[in-house]
Amino acid sequence: MQHNAIETLYDLFEKIKARGDEKLLRTARLLSTSDHFYYMCAKYFQDGDVHKYFSPYDSPEQAYIYFINACAELEERLLR
């Protein structure tokens, strides 16, 4: 999930940079913070417990879905 999410965002970054829209670029930068990917961690045992403790999401899958939806919304704004 983390790998797919970062690839999706980096592809979007290239499109936003090409357009030169500062508001969209700022939003993309906010989405690139490590916390978003941290919450998608699907590790088990003690490592996973740390991620679960701080996450506002019910599961790593839910974090991924919200992130991908945010990327889709950002891309939609780019195409307007």
pLDDT in tens, 2-31: 999 999 999 999 999 999 999 999 999 999
Q: Where are the domains of the chain?
A: 2-79
Contact 30, 74 (CB under 8 A): no
Average pLDDT over the chain, rounded to an integer? 88
Scored b (16 or more CB within 10 A) or e, 51-80 reads beeebebeebeebbeebeebbeebbeebee
pLDDT for 51 beyond 70: no
Matching residue, tokens 């996450």: 55
Percent of the chain with pLDDT over 90: 65
